[in-house]
Structures are given as C-alpha cells and as structure tokens.
Amino acid sequence: MGNSTKIVFSIGLLSILFFSCKKDDDFTGNNPNLINPLVNITLNLSLPQYDPLRFPGGSVLLNPPQGIRGVVIYNINNNEYSAFELSDPNHTPSSCSRMEIEGIIATCPCPTDDNEYNIVTGQHMSDQNLFPMLRYRAVRNGNVITVSN
C-alpha cells in the first residue's frame, strides 16, 4: 500500500468514526414526547427547603416553570446528585404525566400504563426498551447545587 493510499484510508476511517459518534449518546435525545426545556437552577443548601439534599437519600421536587412538569433532585452520596424531568418520557405531556416520587421510584399516575423509573439512574424499572427519564446535569460546589442542561 502506497503512502497516498494509507492517507486516504486513514482519513476515511477517521471520518467514519467522527460522524458515527455523537457528543452525547443518551437515548433521550431522540424522544419525540419531550422537548428539552432550558433548565438553570441554583439551590443553596443553607435554605431550609433544600435541607433534604444535604443527606444521602434525600430528594427535592421543584415545580414548573422548572422543566416541563417539574424536576426531581436526589442526593446519591453527598458528592453525586441526580436530576430528572418529572414528565413521564413515554407520554406526551398531559394533565396526568407528572410523575410522583416515593423513595427512589418515580411513578406515572396516568391510568393508561404503570410506568415506574429509578430516580438515581433514570431507567424504566421493567422495560429497558422504553425511553429513560430526561436527565439534567446536577453539580455540587460547596453549599450550592446547580442543575442545568
């Protein structure tokens, strides 16, 4: 193989790799049910309403206008936090699509299904072929948690 052939082959291979990879291979990116709303929340853990987030296993629900139907933030281990949209990702937003939280389980109250999700991972509890919850980025810096997308 000549040098020019190697160069063309290398460029072709790199092009295939570059265009076949997305920045974020998150399954939620193709979800036709949910828009990706602008979320930019700052939570000061010194305020009493956010006290549950100071302890592992604690969670806080934020109502709209944050997210589509609200946002749940969960303290995994004081260093890691998860934040997810409360609108069931396998429904178009409706009056019943705001999920309810009990422990680490988010449940859709719509009578048409029994969707349940884990608020630590966002995954559906029984059917991994369904869309997971829409994840937001949650970062703690000192006594402040920033949730954004």
pLDDT digits (tens, 9 = 90+) for 32-78: 999 888 999 999 999 999 999 999 999 999 999 999 999 999 999 99
pLDDT bucket at 23, cuts 50 / 70 / 90:
very low
With a pLDDT cut of 90, the percent of the chain lying above it is 74
Q: What is the pLDDT of residue 113?
A: 86
pTM score of the predicted model? 0.80
Q: What is the pLDDT of residues 56-66, one digit of tens each?
A: 999 999 999 99
Question: Residues with Cβ < 8 Å from 87, sequence gap 6 or more?
Answer: 34, 67, 68, 69, 70, 93, 97, 98, 99, 134
Q: Check pLDDT > 70 for residue 122.
A: yes
End-to-end CA distance of the chain: 47
Is residue 86 within 8 Å of 92, Cβ to Cβ?
Answer: no
pLDDT band, residue 142 (cuts 50/70/90): very high
């608020």: which residue's tokens? Answer: 119
pLDDT at 8 (0 to 100): 45
Confidence grade of residue 3 (pLDDT, cut at 50, 70, 90): low
Domains of the chain: residue spans and CATH: 27-148 (2.102.10.10)
The pairs formed by 96-104 with CB atoms below 8 angstroms and a separation of 24 or more are 97/69, 98/69, 98/70, 99/69, 99/72, 101/59, 101/61, 101/72, 104/74
Tell me, what's the pLDDT at 29?
Answer: 61
Answer whether residue 4 shows pLDDT above 60.
no
Are 143 and 78 within 8 A, CB to CB? no
